């Protein structure tokens, strides 16, 4: 079964962030550095993926700006992006398969690579 509804996206996003919270590399960034308010963050992430995958214009925020703010507190490194992709794809594979699911993986990899490059650039521009 493929992703086709907001509820499908919620299933993936909530499972993914449950795993993020338990991850030794990513969990502390969300829990200790960002002090994430999960009641606010999870619906926003569902809006993001609903916009990307289902074409509903639910998400209207500055994605890069939010990540730059985190990167200034804790530099995001290659292994953070690699782990993010691993966990996201595992959440997708656990629940769904099909064209939309594969598009989600492709889009996530592209997003992660763009962010990785931009964060690397910001980190290398910092004075020592």
pLDDT in tens, 73-114: 888 888 999 999 999 999 999 999 999 999 999 999 999 998
Picking from 123, 109, 101, the residue whose alpha carbon sits closest to that of residue 54 is 101
CA distance 71 to 65: 10
What backbone phi and psi angles, to 5 degrees, belong to 60?
-140, 80
Tokens found for residue 96: 């769904």
Neighbours of 80 (CB within 10 A): 21
Domains of the chain by residue range: 6-125
CATH architecture of 6-125: Orthogonal Bundle (1.10)
Whether this model's pTM surpasses 0.85: yes
């Amino acid at each position: 079964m493929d992703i086709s509804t907001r509820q499908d996206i919620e299933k993936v996003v909530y499972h993914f962030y449950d795993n993020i919270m338990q991850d030794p590399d990513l969990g502390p960034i969300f829990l200790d550095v960002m002090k994430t308010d999960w009641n606010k963050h999870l619906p926003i992430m569902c809006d993001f993926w609903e916009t990307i995958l289902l074409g509903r214009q639910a998400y209207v925020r500055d994605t890069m700006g939010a990540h730059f703010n985190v990167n200034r507190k804790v530099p995001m490194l290659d292994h953070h992006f690699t782990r993010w992709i691993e966990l996201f794809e595992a959440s997708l594979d656990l629940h769904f398969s099909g064209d939309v699911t594969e598009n989600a993986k492709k889009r996530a990899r592209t997003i992660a690579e763009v962010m990785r490059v931009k964060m690397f650039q910001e980190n290398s521009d910092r004075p020592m």
